[in-house]
């Protein structure tokens, strides 16, 4: 869906090229999505639709989860040392995509603690007492500011759970505004 498209665009923006992107979906859209993305980004990576979550995750460096699942899809035995997860699908209470056993052994960074315990990847394991605040390294701002360490070794399993913050919307709006000014398009709307 739309989230998968923007996640792929973001990864290619950050890394430039990727060796392979494996696509799995609980619906029947994976082949269509892979074909669309191959046309758009084929010079930057090979995009392969796969039939199982296991195939998608096996030996991956980065796993992006964007499903609306209410039960874990990625199980602990699928995870390799050094794997990183970007989790954005668990955006409401009760949603989860990762086996809580992964969370127990990973270095977890959230965008906002209060929001993440309510509607992030950690919401279910926190509510069930499987993990606690002590299992969370910190918020992304703390890592960026150097207040908390990021990855310390190539073997660490890391997780970023993003619920979305208003500041992200404000930055996106600013970028859109600046692009509109530069292109001399759009129309001014007084909001405040």
Residues of the chain scoring pLDDT < 50: none
Check if the beta carbon of residue 78 is closer than 8 Å to that of residue 57.
Answer: yes
Number of Cβ atoms within 10 Å of the Cβ of 158: 18
Q: Does any domain span residue 61?
A: yes
Looking at residue 164, its pLDDT comes to 86
Looking at residue 22, its pLDDT comes to 96
Claim: this prediction has a pTM higher than 0.85: yes
Tell me the Cα Rg of the chain.
18
Give me the domain span that covers residue 126. Answer: 52-183
DSSP-based three-state secondary structure for 113: helix
Check if the beta carbon of residue 144 is closer than 8 Å to that of residue 174.
Answer: no
C-alpha neighbours within 13 Å on the C-beta side of residue 183: 9
Q: Does any domain span residue 7?
A: no
CATH classification of the domain holding 93: 3.40.50.720
β-strand 136-139 against 107-110: which pairing, if any? parallel
115-160 pLDDT tens trace = 999 998 999 999 999 999 999 999 999 999 999 999 999 999 999 9
Q: Does any domain span residue 170?
A: yes
Task: Report the domain count for the chain.
Answer: 1
Looking at residue 53, its pLDDT comes to 97
Q: Does any domain span residue 6?
A: no
Check if the beta carbon of residue 90 is closer than 8 Å to that of residue 161.
Answer: yes
Partner residues linked to 49 by β-bridges: 23
Q: Does any domain span residue 134?
A: yes
Residues 22, 100: Cα–Cα separation, whole Å = 23
Looking at residue 111, its pLDDT comes to 94
């Amino acid at each position: 869906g739309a989230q998968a498209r923007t996640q792929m665009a973001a990864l290619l923006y950050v890394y430039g090229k990727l060796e392979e992107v494996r696509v799995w979906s609980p619906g029947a859209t994976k082949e269509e999505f892979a074909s669309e993305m191959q046309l758009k980004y084929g010079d930057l990576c090979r995009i392969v639709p796969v039939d199982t979550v296991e195939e998608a995750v096996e030996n991956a460096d980065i796993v992006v989860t964007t499903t609306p699942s209410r039960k874990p899809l990625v199980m602990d035995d699928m995870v390799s040392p050094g794997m990183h997860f970007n989790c954005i699908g668990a955006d409401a209470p009760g949603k989860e995509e990762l086996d809580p056993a992964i969370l127990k052994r990973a270095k977890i960074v959230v965008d906002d603690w209060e929001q993440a315990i309510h509607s992030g990847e950690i919401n279910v394991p926190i509510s069930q007492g499987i993990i606690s605040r002590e299992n969370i390294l910190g918020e992304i701002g703390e890592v960026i500011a150097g207040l908390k360490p990021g990855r310390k070794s190539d073997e660490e399993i890391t997780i970023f759970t993003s619920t979305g913050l208003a500041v992200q919307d404000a930055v996106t709006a600013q970028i859109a505004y600046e692009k509109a000014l530069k292109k001399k398009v759009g129309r001014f709307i007084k909001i405040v």
